[in-house]
Chains A and B, each alone.
Chain A
């Protein structure tokens, strides 16, 4: 009770636990964790390739050429050609555009929605928490591939439909993780103080809770991104994702799988591209969670 008599403490609105500068800390982490560095480099290379694809290769990824079909790797076509005579390397390099574009949009939407909902649930608690928890459990209980297939057949295979569908099936998991992290922050004195000051839920969420769980959110972003990339490629493989002429890795494997004995590179090249991207994302998630001390296993439970 003695604290009440002391002169007013400095206003705690400046989020006492937050680090001096988020960018400075991120930079330190990056240099200290080799795993995270390697992972982020993998991802950065993929982003660069996707952006610079037109400058890197002169072949058109959509151009059919019946005379050049099913060729093995050569000086002219470094990774050979597929059954329509399209250059495999060009399709792999361009393939990142669809995969990365849709995945980034879907992951951003998912993590943003999940973070807001997770924090709100942790702050409000009570029946709101119970009801939302049950609803999210119910969503989780339906296989995400089936839910995705149903949404996509009903609304079409446009990129925005896929972004929306992915968000629907993956938000519950983000909410679980963020809720767990936020529950650890909510009992803190500075949150109580903010409540006592009469701050609204949104303001507490933005100024007190979010800065303290931003590391969890970042790790979740990397984790979720790897999961989303896999899901989207599976969807394309099944024929419900990217529409056929589009260069996409999952679609390429589906198209070239039957010719795997003739031109193995046409299937292996997109597989390698897909695997390196996801390995990069997983390494980044692992490295960041280790460096920031985020216990994925506990948060996920």
Chain B
């Protein structure tokens, strides 16, 4: 089992290495000269030359990659081309704000969708199931910006409970940001929950049809006990995987939702750095997202292994 874990960790590191190369190539090897790309067509030759110097564009690509990776491993992502500040600190600031949204989103999405998914599975083909399934179908069929817009219409304009836009910058304290976190998180959770609900429903239906649930029922266990002891754990397993798979999506969703609410998070930074062609920031965000994605997938795999003895033994024989 240890060797299985080691192999998974090694594979994750390999994936990360590959994605760092991809990120670097995608950003640096864009068609045309990077310096001209950054400065625009009508930049003076002097400015272009200065930027080429600053970005060390005269070195071969692999040397620049090695430089960048070496720095990144120590948390040094270079300097932002726009603000001139250290990219690591700037990205970290925005990332922290986004983590607040992500945390609330995952909490909302997981608890809400497990509850609804189990309910739908228990009342299979009856009205609660139809209702929940229809709502989740609609939830996965509308983009985040639509959910966000509708939420603003309902809870900021019709019922002014939450702010429609955030007026604070990235240095805002948690207390200042907290009122603004709920609507973006809810918008993301609605879209994310739709997938988890379907997953949880299917696995609950499978479990409830299994022989050990019949045995448990024959033993006289209450429905509540059957659900908490059997349905819930089995619904958790596939859910873990969906969440992990959705992390990369979550980063994209956050980009959209944060721009709707003007929330000073990583998504807003992502969009503005793409608009300003702030290459070091783009690279840092892409790399950090890749690390988060790979780490979540690794955690989900190991978690699934811990919960499912079958996977453990398969890991040993492989």
Task: Enumerate chain A interface residues (CB-CB to B < 8 A).
Answer: 134-135, 137-147, 149-151, 153-155, 226, 230, 233-234, 237-238, 250, 253-254, 257, 260-261, 264, 267, 271, 274-275, 278-279, 281-283, 286, 297, 301
By secondary structure, the A interface counts as helix
Q: Are B282 and A146 in contact (CB under 8 A)?
A: yes
In the complex, whether B26 has a CB less than 8 A from a CB of chain A is: yes
- A85 and B174 CA atoms in complex are apart in Å by 42
30 pairs across A/B with beta carbons < 8 Å? A137-B15, A137-B18, A138-B290, A143-B248, A143-B251, A143-B252, A143-B255, A144-B252, A145-B270, A146-B252, A146-B255, A151-B26, A154-B30, A154-B32, A155-B30, A230-B143, A234-B256, A237-B143, A254-B145, A260-B149, A260-B157, A261-B157, A271-B149, A275-B141, A279-B138, A281-B141, A282-B140, A282-B141, A283-B137, A286-B137
- A137 and B22 CA atoms in complex are apart in Å by 11
- A149 and B259 CA atoms in complex are apart in Å by 14
In the complex, whether B204 has a CB less than 8 A from a CB of chain A is: no
Ranked nearest first, the 10 interchain pairs of A and B with the lowest CB-CB distance are: A145-B252, A143-B251, A138-B18, A138-B19, A278-B141, A154-B30, A141-B290, A141-B293, A279-B141, A149-B274
**B residues near A237, Cβ cutoff 8 Å:** 143, 145, 256
**B residues near A149, Cβ cutoff 8 Å:** 255, 270-271, 274
Question: What's the nearest-Cβ distance from chain B to residue A136, in Å?
Answer: 10
Q: Which of A134, A151, A238, A281 has the most CB of B within 10 A?
A: A238
Q: Which of A140, A275, A282 has the most CB of B within 10 A?
A: A140
Q: Are B282 and A141 in contact (CB under 8 A)?
A: no
Task: Enumerate chain B interface residues (CB-CB to A < 8 A).
Answer: 11, 14-16, 18-19, 21-23, 26-27, 30-32, 37, 137-138, 140-146, 149-150, 152-153, 157, 199, 202, 238, 241, 248-249, 251-253, 255-256, 259-260, 270-271, 274-275, 277, 282, 285-286, 289-290, 293-294
Contact of B31 among A143, A145, A155, A226 (CB under 8 A): A155
Q: Are B141 and A140 in contact (CB under 8 A)?
A: no
Q: Are B138 and A275 in contact (CB under 8 A)?
A: yes
Given known contacts A144-B252, A145-B252, A238-B259, A153 and B145 CB-to-CB distance under 8 angstroms: no
**B residues near A134, Cβ cutoff 8 Å:** 11, 14-15, 18
**B residues near A253, Cβ cutoff 8 Å:** 145-146, 149
Question: Of all chain A residues, which has the CB nearest B277?
Answer: A153
Question: Of all chain B residues, which has the CB nearest A283?
Answer: B137
**A residues near B152, Cβ cutoff 8 Å:** 260
Q: Are A275 and B146 in contact (CB under 8 A)?
A: yes
**B residues near A147, Cβ cutoff 8 Å:** 26, 286
**B residues near A281, Cβ cutoff 8 Å:** 141
How many pairs, one residue from A and one from B, have CB atoms within 8 Å of each other in the complex?
143
Contact of B202 among A139, A146, A226, A297 (CB under 8 A): A297
Question: What's the nearest-Cβ distance from chain A to residue B236, in Å?
Answer: 15
Contact of B145 among A140, A234, A264, A278 (CB under 8 A): A234
**A residues near B286, Cβ cutoff 8 Å:** 142-143, 146-147, 150
- A222 and B141 CA atoms in complex are apart in Å by 13
Question: What's the nearest-Cβ distance from chain B to residue A288, in Å?
Answer: 15
**A residues near B259, Cβ cutoff 8 Å:** 238
**A residues near B282, Cβ cutoff 8 Å:** 146, 150
- A281 and B11 CA atoms in complex are apart in Å by 35
Question: What's the nearest-Cβ distance from chain B to residue A98, in Å?
Answer: 15
Q: Are B141 and A226 in contact (CB under 8 A)?
A: yes
Contact of B285 among A141, A146, A297 (CB under 8 A): A146
Q: Are A150 and B27 in contact (CB under 8 A)?
A: yes
Q: Are B149 and A267 in contact (CB under 8 A)?
A: yes
Q: Are A142 and B145 in contact (CB under 8 A)?
A: no
Q: Are A250 and B19 in contact (CB under 8 A)?
A: no
Question: Of all chain B residues, which has the CB nearest A282?
Answer: B141
**A residues near B199, Cβ cutoff 8 Å:** 297
Question: What's the nearest-Cβ distance from chain A to residue B114, in Å?
Answer: 16
- A147 and B210 CA atoms in complex are apart in Å by 43
Q: Are A142 and B256 in contact (CB under 8 A)?
A: no
**A residues near B149, Cβ cutoff 8 Å:** 253, 257, 260, 267, 271
- A283 and B248 CA atoms in complex are apart in Å by 25
Contact of A141 among B15, B145, B271 (CB under 8 A): B15
Given known contacts A230-B143, A275-B142, A141 and B26 CB-to-CB distance under 8 angstroms: no
Contact of A271 among B144, B146, B255, B274 (CB under 8 A): B146
**A residues near B15, Cβ cutoff 8 Å:** 134, 137-138, 141
Q: Are B255 and A238 in contact (CB under 8 A)?
A: yes
Q: Are B19 and A141 in contact (CB under 8 A)?
A: yes
Q: Which of A142, A153, A237, A250 has the most CB of B within 10 A?
A: A142
